[in-house]
Amino acid sequence: MFLTLHGATGAFVGQFTANPVLAFVFGFLSHFPLDVFPHGDRAFALRAKRSVREAHRFMLLITADLVIGAVVLGAAFLFQRFDQPTAAFWGMIGGLLPDAIVAIPEYAMFVRKSKRVWFRWFYRLHDYNHNRVITSFDCSLRTGMVAQGILLVLLWKLW
Ligand SMILES: [Zn+2]
């Protein structure tokens, strides 16, 4: 799932509490059910692990995702969409953290081809959760993008 959606959902669930620590935990936990839904990036991610060219295209998609996420969430904070901006902020960080942790073993395994892999257990847990449904039922990347776009608009309204 796109980082934009993980950050946006984390910010949303973070506001269920005024406590920043709880907001962070809510955001962190929101990451996993979101990843279970079919969202169309599995095939692309698999290709990126096998080909350098596809890996570069995948990095481009992640960069675009980060830029869009920064613009949307930056605008939401700037235009004061959140009743609890501090909780929303920590929820957002919690929502993004699992993919940031996963990037560490992914870099070690697929870029550096290193034998020393930190957070391998977390990578496996995240991978299992991410793929258990979409291995047998996934949508196209385009459908996933449209669905996530709709979800993002909905979250903007709910903030
Ligand atoms: Zn994830």
DSSP 122-148: HHHHHHHHHHTTTTTS---HHHHHHHH
Q: Residue 42's pLDDT is what? A: 86
Q: Would you say 94 and 27 are in contact if contact means Cβ atoms under 8 Å apart?
A: yes
Per-residue pLDDT band for 8 (boundaries 50, 70, 90) equals very high
Q: What is the pLDDT at residue 125?
A: 96
Give, as residue ranges, everything with CB less than 5 Å from ion ligand 1.
35, 99
- The tokens for 97 are 């953290």
Rounded-to-integer distance, Cα 86 and Cα 29, Å: 18
Distance of CA 139 from the midpoint of ligand 1 (Å): 17
**Distance, CA of 54 to chain centre:** 20
CA of residue 62 to ligand 1 center, whole Å: 12
Model confidence over 102-126: pLDDT tens digits? 999 999 998 899 999 999 999 999 9
User: How much of the chain, in percent, has pLDDT values that exceed 70?
Assistant: 100
pLDDT at 133 over 90: no
Q: Give residue 129 CA to ligand 1 midpoint distance, Å.
A: 9
Indicate left, alpha or beta for 82 from its phi (over 0: left) and psi (-120 to 50: alpha).
beta
- Cα 75 to ligand 1 centroid, rounded to whole Å: 23
Please say if the pLDDT value at position 49 is more than 90: no
What is the residue-averaged pLDDT of the chain? 94
Model confidence at 98, in pLDDT bands (50, 70, 90)? very high
